[in-house]
Amino acid sequence: MIKKILVANRGEIAVRIIRACRELGIRSVAIYTDADRHALHVKKADEAYNIGSDPVVGYLNAHNIVNLAVASGCDALHPGYGFLSENPVLAEVCGRRGIKFIGPSPAVIRQMGDKIQARQAMIKAGIPVTPGSDHNLEDVEEARALANKIGYPVMLKATNGGGGRGIRRCDSEDDLLKNYERVVSEASKAFGKPEVFIEKCVVNPKHIEVQVIGDSHGNCIHLFERDCSIQRRNQKLIEIAPSPQLSEAQREYIGKLAVRAAKAVGYVNAGTVEFLLDHDNQFYFMEMNTRLQVEHCVTETITGIDIVQEQIRIADGQPLQYKQDEIHHRGYAMEFRINAEDPQNGFLPSFGRITRYYAPGGPGVRVDGAMYTGYTIPPYYDSMCAKLIVWALDWHSVVERGLRSLDDMLVYGVKTTIPYYKEILRNDEFRSGRFNTGFVEAHPELINYHVRRPPELTAAAIAAALAAHLGM
């Protein structure tokens, strides 16, 4: 059995993994830079080690991290998401040093991280993909010829991209000529490789993804789908499981499709197969994420399966605990990414000290977070500081529970996306359960919200004024 795990990450996902370790009786080791000295994951872990003064570099040095895992007596490493989670080098170094990597093999990470190789693998497996190039583009002229063949609009994408970066939509030849070098530049800077490809743009699709888990004994199952259509500039904001937009027949079809995709590449551990659903109800493979997803919580909530614990068991060589016909979903779950951003100021990051924080509670409410009263959110990382997950038996109830929980969740000292999410949940189109990836752009009026003053603060202000008047 794995006895000690180094968590090669920070923030709320590090806390999430540490909690899973605690329940399994496994010791956890945290890493942190000077900027994260007071972070919650450092306080929660059994051991914690400083990896340098630079806020970011330490989290990206695979060799140093694995050396620390060996030196601290760990027998496994969990990469979380972001940083090195989809970097095959980290998995390779773990293998060479005798550390179990809690994720798929380096070969699969490399294959699915290359969008061209991923498309080729899916085509071979009979998985539908959007029309486009099945090789890296040579130059802008080849891009122009292909765009004219498949028809505008098209998407220029970094072959090794991810996280919504290195993507440009082109609605005309002028757009293509203007954006080609930009995407090449973004790909080079963000991912270290200039390769790009082109594919047909599915306009305002539904973004549906399927959680899959495979073991080293040839078993592979899915844990149903998540709807990630509420997003801004290819960055997800709200995630829902299961999708309120699919029929049971579609749900069964896409689940089997995802399992076939995973088996086609010999996938082991937890991963996500992402699809686009167009207006003609046609599913297209988009990409496969070879790691734990930010939104894994909604899947856990509707199935009752701890995905992180399953990851650890699989990395330890154990077979899956469940067969496909033993997996069931109940009710709806919704996750809100609580970002330290100001939606009314172009979603500008709002880093700083949290002067007060009140967590929501009650039935069907879960918070995965890394913030607390007095914590200073550093400006060097992603702006997400917590995830609020709510569950209820039906769609209407989960929307109402989401509104109530967002009202309960009070964060002072920094701006957050909480008030914006409340406007989304009040919107009739969203409440109907029928929306697509164009929702945010189609409803700019939702940004014009009024921040309501919480009742307890009003009461406190009246009490203070009364005390001053009475000379208390």
Residues with a catalytic annotation lie at 291
Cis peptide before 242 (omega within 30 of 0): yes
294: CB partners within 8 A, 6+ apart = 13, 81, 236, 239, 337, 384, 387
In the numeric block, which tokens belong to residue 432? 């109907």
CA–CA distance, 98 with 282 (Å, rounded to integer)? 44
Q: Within a 13 Å sphere around the CA of 470, how many CA atoms are in the beta-carbon half? A: 7
Strand, helix or coil for residue 222: strand
DSSP string, 329-391: --SEEEEEEEESEEGGGTTEE--EE--EEE---STTEEEEE---TT-EE-TTS-SEEEEEEEE
CB atoms within 10 A of CB 460: 11
Separation between Cα atoms, residue 62 and residue 91, nearest integer Å: 9
Helix 62-71 to helix 88-96 angle (10° resolution) is: 30
- Dihedral sign (CA 228, 230, 231, 236): negative
